[in-house]
Amino acid sequence: MSGKSRGDMGEDKNSEDDNAAAAATTTTAMTTLSRHCFADDDPEAPTLCISIIENMKEDYGLFVWPCSVVLAEYVWQQKHRFQGATVIELGAGTSLPGLVAAKVGANVTLTDDSTRLEVLENMRRVCDLNKIQCNVSL
């Protein structure tokens, strides 16, 4: 808003440039890396941490939904059920539950809307980031 308060929206020849600069800054600041760690009650047991690339400017699909964290925690707590299982995560988005399943030994396929190629590419990137082998499919 070019340094003006909301109540003072008079003409300013630099406001378009300022708005464009602010939009560019906002766009770059919208990508973040979140880290989600899962541990057992036993302090000697290994901890699992997954890093997720999030893009908060998207309508949906490229940020970690709260229900995704809950499902990932369930997968972690029930890891014995997922070891060796075949798992498909539909509408995977950032893929947190699927990544946890893969880390505990499941054979995982991640899928999402085929028209949202940026989401599919992000799934591949988070797999690489976490050194996890998953099938990413349309």
Any domain includes 71:
yes
Q: Are 71 and 79 in contact (CB under 8 A)?
A: no
Expressed as residue numbers, the domain containing 56 is 32-137
Q: How far apart are CA 24 and CA 27, in angstroms?
A: 5
Any domain includes 12:
no
Please tell me the pTM assigned to this model: 0.76
pLDDT per residue as tens digits for the range 69-88: 999 999 999 999 999 999 99
pLDDT of residue 114: 84
Any domain includes 91:
yes
- Domains of the chain: total: 1
Please report, for the domain that includes residue 57, its CATH number: 3.40.50.150
pLDDT of residue 7: 34
